[in-house]
Amino acid sequence: MKVILDSRQIERIVEDLAARIVSDVPAGSDIATIGVRSRGEVLAQRLSSRLAEKLGKDVPCGTLDITLYRDDLNSPQGAGQPQVRTTEIGFDIDGKVIILVDDVLHTGRSTRAAMDALIDLGRPMAVKLAVLVDRLGRELPIQADYAGYMCDAAADKLVQVRFVEPDGKDEVVIE
Amino acid sequence: MLGLRELSAEEIGYILDTAVGFEQVSTRSVKKAPPLRGKVVVNLFFEDSTRTRNSFALAANRLSADIIEFTKKTSSVSKGETLLDTARNLEAMGIDIVVVRHNAGGASRFLSRNVNACVVNAGDGFCEHPTQGLLDVYTIRKIKGTLEGLKIAIVGDVAHSRVARSDMWAMTKLGAEVTFVGPPTLMPAQAERLPVKVSYCLDEVIEKVDVINMLRIQFERLGGNPFPSIREYSHYFGLTAERMKRAKGNILVMHPGPINRGLEIESEVADGRNSVILEQVTNGLAVRMAVLFLVNQAAAQRVD
């Protein structure tokens, strides 16, 4: 196991992501974050509060469960008996700039599923992708708009993001 | 999914937890999700049904499956085709899940041993109606938080009720105390061997229970004369507004439907503030979506 990001670095990255989003998104647009369960949820909450500070207005935050949209549900070596959880988005996404938030972007398959799930909920003005770690190994033509840390881990390694809220401490490790 | 008797408390909990995630599919603008895209579900109903059949059909539609509706009256069963031949012919068309309701107990189990498609029991004889049992405990859990320690009465025609049996298995496994209430003629034989209490007097039970599930008198199944008159049955075992006055203020009134208004339950109570009868129907959709989804997932794992 190798720690690639500690809590201070993660904090700086989140701050940096928020700054880039603020300078990039047109002033006056209605902005909201939506985190992909489960680690994206925590990251989205943190981004939301940073964005709210910088913009001086409320930035709503929601959570998306993508289980029903995964592309490996019917494959024998795929999902197995996955845990379907709730999507909790307490606001209308129509016309908003949605910052879709995930912890790691790797194959791009989760992001594909998340976009399909999102589109079934309404029609945002734009969807931008923000991730903490951008890992090589894309299997679909999907790229992040805001990526924190670039990582080239071997295919058999696991890049694990941990947050204080569920895991007790902030860190990113390669196992 | 043949019955709740063989499931553990953990397995039942897993299905209920899964159903929670399906509730929101029915409340958003696009009321459809893709996990069963390209799969075929057959509603194979040898008995009449409003709620269960339509609920399964809508659940399958919301998961993007294709659905074939089979009813006994308009099929070749009226020409003498057997259950197994019917199922095998449908299977030859390439189906994935069979939802079966049949008047013979064990019909779904028999079918599951003889076809490759997944079988979901939608009611077999007097044996089980597992998705009804699941939606009943789902409804109770959603409102009361847990079933642990709750006192539940299941009242009426217990003998002919597969709902009572599935309810009993699910409720007792999740930690509730279940009492069957009804006239001795409508009690199952050897009820004392089941994990329930038995009472022949609703008035003794009504004050103590947190949940009361009123079963329909199933006239189509009654043989002989189990009670002297409808009025007498209603007097002793009907849930009347008068009787409700002695119940706990937060008692949940349930009924699997269809209701015989004024017989086992008065309209004032069925439509009253303690009634969750229509919530049961709404929750049934999420529960059936969860069951179809999980059954399909299990099948995907089986093909190795």
pLDDT (0 to 100) of residue B225: 79
Structural domain includes residue A79: no
Q: How many domains does chain A have?
A: 1
How distant is the Cα of A123 from the closest Cα of chain B, in angstroms?
10
A112 min Cα distance to partner chain B (Å):
13
Residue B32 touches chain A, beta carbons under 8 Å: yes
Q: Is B304 on the interface with A (CB under 8 A)?
A: yes
Cα(A98)–Cα(A125) distance, rounded to whole angstroms?
8
- Indicate whether B223 pLDDT > 80: no
Distance, CA of B9 to CA of B113 (rounded, Å) = 25
What is the C-alpha separation between B229 and B212, in angstroms, rounded?
23
What's the pLDDT score for residue A155? 87
Cα–Cα nearest to A129, from A150, A112, A151: A112
ipTM: 0.85
Q: Is the peptide bond before B258 cis (omega within 30 degrees of 0)?
A: yes
Name which of A54, A144, A41, A55 is nearest A89 in CA terms.
A41
Confidence of residue B303 (pLDDT cuts 50, 70, 90): low
A77 in a domain, yes or no?
no
Q: Which residues of A, range 3-62, sit inside 8 Å of B by Cβ?
A: none
What is the pLDDT averaged over residues B177-201?
A: 94
> Where does residue B102 rank: exposed (0-12), middle (13-18), buried (19+ CB within 10 A)?
buried
| A87/chain B closest Cα distance in angstroms | 7
Closest-approach residue (CA) in chain B for A117: B33
B22–A85 C-beta distance less than 8 A: no
State the best of A70, A71, A120, A123 to mutate against chain B, taking most chain B CBs within 10 Å.
Answer: A120
Cβ pair B293:A78 closer than 8 A: no
The token duo for A42 is 């925590």
Q: Is residue A65 part of a domain?
A: yes
Residue A112 lies in a domain: yes
**Distance of residue A99 Cα from the nearest chain B Cα, in angstroms:** 20
Confidence of residue B300 (pLDDT cuts 50, 70, 90): confident
Please compute Rg for chain A using Cα positions.
Answer: 16
Any domain includes A76: no
Checking phi first, is residue A132 left (phi over 0); if not, alpha (psi -120 to 50) or beta?
Answer: alpha
Look at residue A79 in the predicted model and tell me its pLDDT.
63
Cα of B57 to nearest chain A Cα, Å: 18
Q: Do A82 and B33 touch (CB under 8 A)?
A: no
CATH of the domain at A90: 3.40.50.2020
Evaluate whether A133 touches A149 at the Cβ level (below 8 Å).
yes
**How big is the CA angle at A145 (ends A139 and A146), to the nearest 5 degrees?**
110
How far apart CA A37 and CA A141 sit, in angstroms, is 22
pLDDT value at residue B76: 81
Question: Is B281 an interface residue toward A (CB < 8 Å)?
Answer: no
Give the nearest chain A residue to B38 (CA atoms): A74
For chain A positions 81-100, those within 8 Å of chain B (CB to CB) are 81-87
Inter-chain CB proximity A86 and B18 less than 8 Å = no
Q: What is the pLDDT of residues B116-134, one digit of tens each?
A: 999 999 999 999 999 999 9
Q: Which domain holds residue A21?
A: 9-70+86-156
CB-CB under 8 Å, A81 with B297: yes
Sign of CA dihedral B103, B139, B257, B181: positive
pLDDT digits (tens, 9 = 90+) for B224-236: 778 888 899 999 9
CB spacing of B29 vs A69 below 8 angstroms: no
What pLDDT digit, counting tens, does each position of A113-122 carry?
999 999 999 9
Asked if A107 is an interface residue toward chain B (Cβ–Cβ < 8 A), one would say no
Measured distance CA(B134)–CA(A60) in Å, rounded? 35
pLDDT of residue A77: 72
A2 found inside a domain: no
A chain contacts of residue B25, beta-carbon cutoff 8 Å:
68
Buried b (16+ CB within 10 A) or exposed e, B34-47: bbbeebbbbbbbbb
Q: Is residue A21 part of a domain?
A: yes
Domains and CATH numbers, chain B: 9-129+281-302 (3.40.50.1370), 130-280 (3.40.50.1370)
Which residues of chain A fall short of a pLDDT of 70? 78-80
Contact A121 B22 (CB under 8 A): no
- For residue range B45-84, list pLDDT tens digits in order: 999 888 999 999 999 999 999 999 988 877 788 778 889 9
CB spacing of A68 vs B33 below 8 angstroms: yes
Burial call A16-26: b when 16+ CB within 10 Å, e when fewer: ebbeebeeebe
Alpha-carbon distance A84 to B294, whole Å? Answer: 10
3-state SS track over chain B:
CCCCCCCCHHHHHHHHHHHHHHHHHHCCCCCCCCCCCCCEEEEEECCCCCHHHHHHHHHHHHCCCEEEEEECCCCHHHHCCCHHHHHHHHHHCCCCEEEEEECCCCHHHHHHHHCCCEEEEEEECCCECHHHHHHHHHHHHHHHCCCCCCEEEEECCCCCCHHHHHHHHHHHHCCCEEEEECCHHHCCCCHHHCCCEEECCHHHHCCCCCEEEECCCCCCCCCCCCCCCHHHHHHHHCECHHHHCCCCCCCEEECCCCCCECCCECHHHHCCCCECHHHHHHHHHHHHHHHHHHHHHHHHHHCC
Which among B21, B35, B303 has CB closest to A85?
B21
Residue B149 scores a pLDDT above 60: yes
Contact B34 A74 (CB under 8 A): no
pLDDT at residue B304, as a whole number: 45
pLDDT tens digit sequence for B243-291: 999 999 999 999 999 999 999 999 999 999 999 999 999 999 999 999 9
> Do the domain assignments include residue A171?
no
